[in-house]
């Protein structure tokens, strides 16, 4: 509850700062729609020539794109403002020192204390595309599918946060190592059905770098129904990655000696 209170307070402060630059909202809206349009347009072109894409219908693919947009919007709002530049601002410039002196979890402060509320606008077109996909689907989601989708969205957020923390923790051992380009490139693969990739890459995106949990698994659950082994496996994977992220953070702090040391 303490961490939730801190999250709410930090979000409120970030919102007040963001509202001082309201013109940014216009650009955020434009970028959200342009980005989503570039993802939807190729799909619509493909489905003028085919009925399915690696077993995914047009409706399922639209739901996947919308779900990916939701997760991306939440990541851009709550995670990226904190961890994108952690090696530079946190390790080399000493910002982590101030986190360690505060009476709150340093992991929370380093990974979730800042936010960019205006980027939540990305959720609006994402929900619109999900609604579009459901509207053109042959079957409607049942209650179990909706609840499973929501639970998998929560698991996807945990996975997204944990992967970002793990990449940030590498800075404790190699401060000059920059893997942001690799991470962002791999993230883009989440907007496509995992089934379109070759088997080796599909295994990597499912078990090694679990991008399948970001959008493919939740989207399939919403329209195809709950597959309990997959649901339980996703929740377990999220829990394991969160534990691994917390453990790596503590191990990194033991190596950290302060930017001025």
The closest alpha carbon to 182, from 161, 155, 164, 207, belongs to 164
Residue where the block lists tokens 């453990």: 247
3-class DSSP string for 152-188 = HHHHHHHHHHHHHHHHHHHHHHCCCCCCHHHHHHHHH
- Position 94 pLDDT exceeds 80: no
Report how far residue 179's alpha carbon sits from residue 185's, in angstroms, rounded to the nearest whole number.
10
The pTM assigned to this predicted structure is 0.88
Q: pLDDT per residue over 162-221, tens digit each?
A: 998 988 888 888 767 666 667 777 788 888 888 888 888 888 888 888 888 889 999 999
Q: pLDDT per residue over 238-255, tens digit each?
A: 999 999 999 999 998 888
């Amino acid at each position: 509850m303490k961490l939730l209170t801190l999250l709410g307070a930090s979000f409120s402060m970030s919102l007040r700062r963001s509202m001082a630059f309201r013109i940014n909202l216009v650009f955020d809206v434009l970028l959200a729609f342009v980005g989503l349009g570039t993802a939807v347009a190729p799909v619509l072109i493909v489905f003028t020539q085919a009925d399915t894409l690696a077993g995914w219908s047009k409706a399922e693919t639209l739901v996947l794109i919308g779900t990916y947009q939701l997760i991306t919007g939440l990541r851009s709002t709550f995670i990226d403002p904190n961890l994108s530049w952690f090696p530079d601002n946190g390790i080399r410039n000493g910002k982590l020192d101030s986190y360690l002196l505060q009476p709150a979890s340093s992991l929370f402060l380093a990974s979730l204390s800042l936010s960019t509320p205006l980027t939540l606008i990305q959720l609006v077109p994402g929900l619109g595309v999900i609604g579009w996909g459901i509207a053109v689907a042959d079957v409607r989601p049942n209650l179990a599918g909706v609840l499973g989708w929501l639970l998998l969205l929560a698991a996807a957020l945990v996975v997204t946060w944990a992967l970002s923390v793990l990449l940030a923790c590498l800075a404790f051992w190699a401060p000059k190592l920059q893997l942001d380009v690799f991470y962002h490139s791999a993230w883009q693969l989440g907007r496509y059905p995992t089934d379109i990739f070759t088997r080796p890459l599909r295994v990597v995106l499912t078990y090694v770098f679990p991008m399948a949990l970001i959008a493919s698994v939740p989207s399939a659950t919403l329209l195809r129904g709950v597959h309990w082994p997959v649901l339980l496996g996703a929740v377990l994977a999220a829990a394991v990655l969160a534990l691994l992220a917390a453990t790596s953070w503590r191990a990194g702090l033991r190596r950290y000696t302060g930017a001025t040391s």
